[in-house]
Amino acid sequence: MRLGSSLLLIAVGAVLRWAVTATTSGVNLRTVGVILMVIGAVGFLISLYWMLVVSQSVSRRDGYADGTTADPRVTQPRA
């Protein structure tokens, strides 16, 4: 789940929770709205974590096959 889909779930959940006034038998739309907002918030937090922490660790690898590095601060031992 990415940021956009998480925000979409939060928006749909908010509409179901506060804007829809219809009643149905067997399904409480307000509860469904709250559930969608919680799932969207959890997905949003996981997406932020993935973007900020995991993607930085991927970019800090030891180096490329030709001996250069992606990070100019990292120095390779001289052979």
Kindly state whether residue 11 falls inside one of the protein's structural domains: yes
Kindly state whether residue 75 falls inside one of the protein's structural domains: no
Percent of residues, the chain, with pLDDT higher than 90 = 57
Kindly state whether residue 47 falls inside one of the protein's structural domains: yes
Please indicate, yes or no, whether the overall pTM of this predicted structure exceeds 0.75: no
Kindly state whether residue 25 falls inside one of the protein's structural domains: yes
| pLDDT single digits (tens) 38-75 | 999 999 999 999 888 876 665 555 555 565 655 666 56
Kindly state whether residue 49 falls inside one of the protein's structural domains: yes
Domain ranges, residue 29: 3-59
Kindly state whether residue 33 falls inside one of the protein's structural domains: yes
Kindly state whether residue 38 falls inside one of the protein's structural domains: yes
Kindly state whether residue 74 falls inside one of the protein's structural domains: no
The number of distinct structural domains making up the chain is 1
Q: Which long-range contacts (CB under 8 A, 24 or more apart) does 36-43 make?
A: 36/9, 36/10, 36/12, 37/9, 37/10, 37/13, 38/13, 39/9, 39/13, 40/6, 40/7, 40/8, 40/9, 40/10, 40/11, 40/13, 41/6, 41/10, 43/1, 43/5, 43/6, 43/9
